[in-house]
Chain A
Amino acid sequence: MQDVRRTYRMGNVIVEALRGLSLTIQPGEYVAIMGPSGCGKSTLLNLLGCLDRPSSGRYLLGGDDVSSMEDDVLSEIRGRRLGFIFQSYNLIQQLNVLENIEVPLFYQGRPEEEARGIATALARRVGLESRLDHRPYELSGGQQQRVAIARALASDPILILADEATGNLDSGSGREIMALFDELNAAGKTLVMVTHDPATGERARRIVRLRDGVVESDLARGPRG
């Protein structure tokens, strides 16, 4: 990201969420974005996730300038290159576990059998192969988040974005999820997570702190001992 600004209007007030933020993330990194509320970390995550466009500045994802792309193209990019994990899981209640995992593949138009195969494998990867036909309301919080993670991995993205992934979980499930994250990163996935919990932030290998829309500090941590 190069000198990215994001300004928007709320009623009569003009809010400058990001004021000239620059950030580079390499493949395979495990980054935590932290900061007090109002610092712009949610806005940053939305921009990183191509859900929003910067008011000025550039955002290059995998070499492509996505800051000025059209909506349809951005949708494609989100589907193929990005994976999202939300605090409240955001699973689709009408679909079962397998179908939820398949959703990104569905929007890419992949044939049913192929999608089914990928989804089943991913479900196994997160340890849910015995619950393929369950609906979200039949699962615990931790299980639902695992489905969300499998879904985020469905199209083999280059970047996984997590927004307070353990926020709604008890410590036990939270630990499970963080362990999964470790696994994913060890396998080579690039992970960017937003959190306000220091303990969670410690799990990452690089902590970017924001304050008032700019980067306050950017510290890499050594390998965990």
Chain B
Amino acid sequence: MSIRVIRGPLISSKLRRAVRLGLRSLWLHRLRSLLTVLGIVFGVCSVIAMLAIGEGASYEAQEQIKNLGSQNIILRSVKPPEEQKVSNNQNNYVLDYGLKYTDITRIQATIPGVMAVVPARVMREYVWNVTWRVDAEIVGTVPWYPAMRNHHVATGRFFSETDQASAESVCVLGHQMARTLFPLEVPLGKTVRVGQGYYRVIGVMEAPASMAKESAAGSSGQPAADRMFIPLETARRRYGEILFKRRSGSFEQERVALHEVTVKVDLPERVLPVSQAIQELLLRSHKKKDYDVVVPLELLRRAERTKQIFNIVLGSIAAISLVVGGIGIMNIMLATVTERTREIGVRRALGAKRGDIVTQFLIEAVMLSGAGGAIGVLLGISIPFVVSATAGMKTIVTFWSPMAAFTISALVGVVFGLYPALRAARMDPVEALRHE
């Protein structure tokens, strides 16, 4: 088998010959070589693949969080746990919880750095288009919601200040919902029915970047693929403050002023202080813990930290398997040296210096580990593609991870091949010639 190794003029012919010789030795015993480097192949491949999957997951998570807005703080009304047990009661018991309009005014008035506040009310209703029906979340919110949440209209328009002021019966459909309710026609200008009320469709939202994004935006905590936006005033007038919920026979009445409030902070550095201020404010003004404060920036940081820990664990696994692979290489090289004792003696008789012998066997060791690294890199790069294609997960193969992994595996060859090579060189030629 002949292999042409393309190298620059700086590499002496001696080195080139040695490399070719090493390759030939490896090829001669290819099964043995392959088994030897399995440890390295596994280590390199798994590190690259898992890094890619991890990067992809982290990227998705971060995109998700970024879509909530890294300068946003999201406040949610949460049904307090103690009251949940009482919901079986059939009395006219009004459960009053959650964020109030006064909270908003107080936040805007007292906390510096608050740039904008987007309140939202959410009702769960059936929405009809003639015969098509969707169980949807109706979100009553303000005209600047799209800007704040970075979720814009695809066709038509969002409602305006005037719509809000005059409590117009207009709505903007979520992407998924529009498709379900209007499979055959363009929704713009058509009317949908919610209970007794009719709303004119003036816009359709764009599809979210990922399904997870939609669920992160759902205020009730349930994945809400189908959402419809109406002006907050309209929601207020139509639905009042008290919502009736019919669940398996019993009545529930909840008074929730606002289900969700998004607060935008002017500077990134202020986000954490502002969130703390808000928490204190709410703590003082609310009797129970009927709200939740989500700081996307904090989530982002936490996600980063998780990723770092993940990478450290990954690195440790890789290090261990590389050591295992290296020991395998040392083992096989020691065997090779013993096998070729006679040959070493002959080479020495023919003029090889100790350094020549070291080089010969070191090159073989490095080629072994390098080959293992190369195979590992190839596998490690292809696995994420397969995973992406079949599981639909995003994976990101960075440039430096295969490069680093390959370099490190070559280094492993040097480190673990050194001892056998030195042993070979230190052999007494006379003894070696007498061997076997």
Which single residue of chain B is at the shortest CB-CB distance from A84? B349
B154 at the interface (CB under 8 A from A): no
Given contacts A75-B354, A76-B353, A86-B433, contact A94 B12 (CB under 8 A): no
Please determine whether B352 and A75 come into contact, CB atoms closer than 8 angstroms: yes
Contact with B along A87-127 (1 / 0, CB 8 A): 00010101000000001101111011000000000000000
With contacts A52-B430, A80-B351, A86-B433 taken as known, whether A106 is within 8 angstroms of B17 at the C-beta atoms is yes
Pick from B343, B351, B355: contact of A92, CB below 8 A.
Answer: B343
A189 at the interface (CB under 8 A from B): no
With A106-B14, A109-B12, A109-B13: A90-B351 Cβ-Cβ less than 8 Å: no
Task: Give 1 or 0 for each of B337-351: 1 = CB within 8 Å of chain A CB.
Answer: 000001101111111
Q: Is the Cβ of B346 less than 8 Å from the Cβ of A92?
A: yes
Q: What is the 8 Å Cβ interface bit string for chain B, positions 228-241, against chain A (1 contact, 0 not)?
A: 00000000000000
- Number of interchain pairs (Cβ within 8 Å): 66
A46 at the interface (CB under 8 A from B): yes
Determine how close the nearest CB of chain A comes to the CB of B194; give it in whole angstroms. Answer: 83
Instruction: Say yes or no: A94 contacts B350, CB within 8 Å.
Output: no
Using known A-B contacts A71-B354, A75-B354, A94-B21, determine if residue A51 contacts B12 with beta carbons closer than 8 Å.
Answer: no
Interface size class of B (residues with CB under 8 A): 20 to 34
Is the beta-carbon distance between B351 and A51 smaller than 8 angstroms?
no
Q: Which residues of B contact A51 (CB under 8 A)?
A: 348-349, 429-430, 433
Known contacts A51-B429, A90-B346; A107/B25 CB under 8 A: no
Q: C-beta contact mask, B343-371 vs A, less than 8 Å → 1, else 0? A: 10111111111111000000000000000
Chain B, Cβ-Cβ closest to A112? B13
- For A, the interface residue count at a CB cutoff of 8 angstroms equals 26
Residues from chain B with a CB closer than 8 A to the CB of A151 are 350
Q: Which residue of A lies closest to B12 (CB)?
A: A109
Given contacts A90-B433, A92-B343, contact A109 B353 (CB under 8 A): no
Interface members, chain B 1-39 (any A CB < 8 Å): 12-14, 17, 21, 24-25, 28
* B430 partner residues in chain A, CB cutoff 8 A: 46, 51-52
A23 CB to closest chain B CB (Å) equals 19
* Residue of chain A at shortest CB distance from B353: A75
Structural contact, B433 and A107, CB atoms closer than 8 A: no
> Taking the nearest CB of chain A, how far is it from the CB of B340, in angstroms?
9
Q: Establish whether residues A107 and B346, one from each chain, have CB atoms under 8 Å apart when the complex forms.
A: no
Q: In whole Å, how far is A61's beta carbon from the nearest beta carbon of chain B?
A: 14
Q: Give the distance in Å from the alpha carbon of A155 to the alpha carbon of B350 in the complex.
A: 10
- For the complex, what is the distance from the CA of A86 to the CA of B25, rounded to whole Å? 24
Q: With CB as the reference atom, state the residue of chain B lying closest to A89.
A: B346
Complexed CA–CA distance, A92 and B356 (Å): 16
B350 touching A107, Cβ below 8 Å:
yes
Is A146 located at the chain interface by the 8 A CB criterion?
no
Which residues on the A side are within 8 Å of B342 (C-beta)?
90
- Are A155 and B433 in touch, CB under 8 angstroms? no
Task: Specify which chain B residues have a CB less than 8 angstroms from the CB of A75 in the assembled complex.
Answer: 348, 351-354, 356
**Least CB distance, B338 to chain A, in whole angstroms:** 16
- Chain A stretch 204-218: residues in CB contact (< 8 A) with chain B: none
Q: Give every chain B residue within 8 A of A170 (Cβ-Cβ).
A: none
Q: Collect the chain A residues with CB atoms within 8 Å of residue B346's CB.
A: 86, 90, 92
Q: State the CA gap A112–B7 with chains docked (Å).
A: 15
* Chain B CB within 8 A of A49 CB: yes
* The residue from B345, B350, B433 contacting A79, defined by CB atoms under 8 A apart: B350
Complex Cα spacing A84 to B433, Å:
12
A-side contacts of B348, CB under 8 Å: 51, 75, 78
Interface residues of B in 419-436 (CB under 8 A from A): 429-430, 433
The answer on a CB contact under 8 Å between A108 and B354 is no
On whether the beta carbons of B433 and A103 are closer than 8 Å, the reply is no
Q: B354 — which chain A residues lie within 8 A by C-beta?
A: 71-72, 75
Cβ contact within 8 Å between B351 and A79: yes
Nearest-neighbour CB distance to chain A for B8, whole angstroms, equals 16
By CB atoms of chain B within 10 A, which of A49, A75, A84, A151 has the most? A75
CA distance A52 to B346 in the complex (A): 14
Chain B residues near A80 (CB-CB < 8 A)? 351
Chain A nearest Cβ from B287, distance in angstroms: 86
Report chain B residues within 8 Å CB of A46.
430
The answer to whether B25 and A49 touch across the interface, beta carbons within 8 angstroms, is no
Residues of A within 8 A of B343 (CB): 92
Give chain A nearest CB distance to B352 CB in angstroms. 5
With a cutoff of 8 Å between Cβ atoms, the chain B residues found around residue A72 in the complex are 353-355
Closest residue of B by beta carbon distance from A152? B350
**CB closest chain-B residue, reference A107:** B351
Can you list 12 A-B pairs with a CB-CB distance of less than 8 A? A51-B348, A51-B429, A52-B430, A75-B351, A76-B351, A78-B350, A92-B343, A94-B28, A104-B350, A111-B13, A112-B13, A112-B17
User: Interface residues, chain A, CB within 8 Å of chain B?
Assistant: 46, 49, 51-52, 71-72, 75-76, 78-80, 84, 86, 90, 92, 94, 103-104, 106-109, 111-112, 151, 155
Residue positions of B touching A, CB distance < 8 A: 12-14, 17, 21, 24-25, 28, 342-343, 345-356, 429-430, 433
Nearest first, the 7 A-B pairs at minimum CB distance are: A79-B351, A107-B351, A75-B353, A90-B346, A104-B350, A51-B429, A72-B353
- Besides A79-B350, A94-B21, A104-B350, 6 more A-B contacts (Cβ < 8 Å) are A51-B349, A76-B353, A92-B343, A94-B28, A109-B13, A155-B351
